[in-house]
Structure 1
Amino acid sequence: MSLSDLKNELIYHKLEDRYLVLPATGATVGEAAKVLQVDPDAIAKSLVLNVNEQPTVLVLSGNARLDNHHFKEEFRVRPRLLPATEVQKATGYPVGGVNPIGLNNALPVYLDTSLKNLTWLYPAAGDEYHALKLTLTELITLSRPVRWVKVSK
């Protein structure tokens, strides 16, 4: 999906005002939180993992850390991040801009329980200079997750 496709998806859902252009890079949780002036937990980071040879997107809150034990309980495999060189091919977005909405190849998306109870979430929006401001309900509607998982510490 291109940035224009993402914007069209937002327009369709009447959320075009939630697309943010950042004045500086927001490629990492720390950078995004600083430029958006929000708590790092509000950053919805998307990790792309290889789960049984299937690229899979896992969305966690900014301060949450992937827990190997919890991940293995949920997916029956050890967590393996997809190499950075393969992320854009799998998702349509570069590292630092991966967004759980409108992914190439209809990749499965899982939301970690660390996102629950946050008023606003700020996922990347296609590159390190764009983000979205969404409620949890809006993120669920737009990302169409397979299910909730508990894979964080």
Structure 2
Amino acid sequence: MSLIDLKNELSYHRLKDRYLDLPATGATVNEAAEVLHVDPDAIAKSLVLNVNQQPIVIVLSDNARLDNHRFKDEFQIRPRLLSPNAVQRETGYPVGGVNPIGLENDLPVYFDTSLKGLEWLYPAAGDEYHALKLTLDELSELSHPVRWVAVSK
């Protein structure tokens, strides 16, 4: 999905004002939190992993770290991050700009339980200079997660 498509999707859902232009790079969680003036826990990071030759996206809060044992319990395989080139090819977004909305390929999206309880979430919006400000319900409505998982520590 291009940035224009993403903006159109937000407009359709009456959320156009939630698309944020950042004055500096927000490629990393710490950079995004600093530029947005929010707690790093509110940054919703999207990890793209390979599960049995199928890329998936897991969205976690910044305060969460992927736990190998929990991931293996959930998916019966060790987590393996995709390479930056594979992330771009599979999602349409570069690393640092991946969000679970409008992925290039219709990849399964999972929400980690670390997202629960946060008033606002700030996922990337296509590149390191754009972000979204959404509630958990709004992010869920736009990204259609398969289910909740507990894969973080």
- The CA distance in 2 between the partners of 1:64 and 1:18, in whole Å, is 24
CA distance in 2, matches of 1:55, 1:3: 22
Moved segments of 4+, more than 6 Å:
none
Letter of the aligned partner of 1:41 in structure 2?
Answer: D
- Seq. identity, %: 79
1:1-153 to 2 correspondences below 5 Å: 1-153=1-153
SS at match of 2:101: coil
- Shift of residue 85, structure 1, vs aligned partner: 1.5
Separation in 2, partners of 1:96, 1:55: 17
| Alignment-mate amino acid for residue 101 of structure 1 | I
Which digits, 9 at most, give the CA deviation of each residue in 1:96-119, with x for residues without a partner? 000100101110000000000000
- CA RMSD, 1 decimal: 0.5
Counterpart amino acid of residue 92 in structure 2: G
Cα distance in 1 for residues equivalent to 2:25 and 2:63: 18
**How far apart, in 1, do the equivalents of 2:54 and 2:7 lie?**
27
Which ranges of structure 1 fall in alignment gaps of 5 or more residues? none
Q: Mark the runs of 5 or more structure 2 residues left unpaired by the alignment.
A: none
Distance 2:46 2:138 in 1: 16
Report the Cα distance in structure 1 between the residues aligned to 2:85 and 2:101, rounded to whole angstroms: 20
Distance apart, 1:63 and its partner CA: 1.8
**So what's the TM-score if we normalise by structure 2?**
0.99
Report Cα offsets for 1:15-38 as digits up to 9, x if no partner.
000000000000011000000000
